Structure 1
């Protein structure tokens, strides 16, 4: 089921918990008129309040993806705030932290200012795998991270298969149409990475 923010999930104004421990949706203030729009895409103090941890942005990255591009599932050794600032995308996230109480749980979103996507950002704690699947291009994906790329904890970098049967993600486009990197084509299943979790 696609994530929808609701009053029952709101843990402070504009911040919503999800099924995954450490994954939050932050709705942003959005004002549009004939000139375009303005949006506040995130407040770090809100993140720090809900996580109880500092979130100091060290690097800001921007990727652009075209129609039918699918990136993921990637987990990295940093915390990040991600926002689809253009286009419309399906995003699936999975908890691949073996010690997490929500290990193996998946949450899905439709994000972006187009096609009725959620207008907001995702705060993704270190070790949660995320993906983006382009439905209306181009998708511009902005992500703010709390470590420099070369200084992140590389032991936290993981690629999990988009087609892992235990995650059972219902992708909105056919596999044959997906444009996927070689790394992602060759990514492992959770059962291969963490066999002890499936005994």
Structure 2
């Protein structure tokens, strides 16, 4: 984790997917960050997220791998402790369908994920807390789109091989890209 970054937004290869540098201030007691600040984020071009729910995924072991899921809402993702290798795949209809972007996310980094972009992560450290704001409430009727973590077309370069990672059976069985119906927005 890098202390003293300036709040900054960086475009990625996927339209709407924006990577953020987050200022983290630390001393002998630990660290502090302003993880989400609506006015500052909007000044950098982030749409008004309007968060309605905050979710945290605690992951005990390095190599825990979750995704690739595209939800019907926007997400603002960060890490409270530890670090993750993140992978995002554009599952929206259009010329970017199947495009991959990856980055390491630690407490000094965050990413805005627009709806329709598949999200996945692999923990790089034990006891990693992955946190995200969403702008709609989860319901059992929510329509997700899934992509297999091992899809050969997107070829995510997982730091820890999937055969050595902790992955749910459900995530192992999601369809390959050629069987995914692009999300119409």
Q: TM-score per shorter chain, which class?
A: 0.7 to 0.9
Task: Select 1:191's aligned residue among 172, 175, 178.
Answer: 178
- CA distance in 1 between partners of 2:124 and 2:109 (Å): 17
Deviation at 1:42, TM superposition (A): 2.5
| TM-score (normalizing by structure 1) | 0.81
> When you count helix as a share of all residues, which structure comes out higher?
1
Deviation at 1:147, TM superposition (A): 0.6
- CA distance in 2 between partners of 1:42 and 1:120 (Å): 11
CA deviation vs aligned residue, 1:70-123 (integer Å, no higher than 9, x gap): 001111010010101111211111111123x4221111111114xxxxx12110
User: Any conservation in 1 of the 2:146–2:180 contact (CA below 8 Å)?
Assistant: no
- CA distance in 2 between partners of 1:189 and 1:47 (Å): 35
- CA distance in 2 between partners of 1:45 and 1:138 (Å): 31
CA deviation vs aligned residue, 1:44-85 (integer Å, no higher than 9, x gap): 33554525x431110001111122210011110100101011
> Mapping of 1:16-165 within 5 angstroms?
16-48=10-42, 50-51=45-46, 53-65=47-59, 66-99=61-94, 101-113=95-107, 119-150=108-139, 154-155=142-143, 157-165=144-152
* Structure 1: runs of 5 or more not aligned: 1-12, 114-118
User: Runs (4+) of structure 1 moved beyond 6 Å?
Assistant: none
- For the aligned residue pairs, the C-alpha RMSD in angstroms reads 2.0
- CA distance in 1 between partners of 2:21 and 2:111 (Å): 9
* Structure 2: runs of 5 or more not aligned: 1-6
User: Quick one: structure 1 residues 43 and 102, their matched pair in 2 at CA, closer, same or farther if it must change by over 3 Å?
Assistant: farther
SS, match of residue 132 in structure 2: strand
SS, match of residue 104 in structure 2: strand
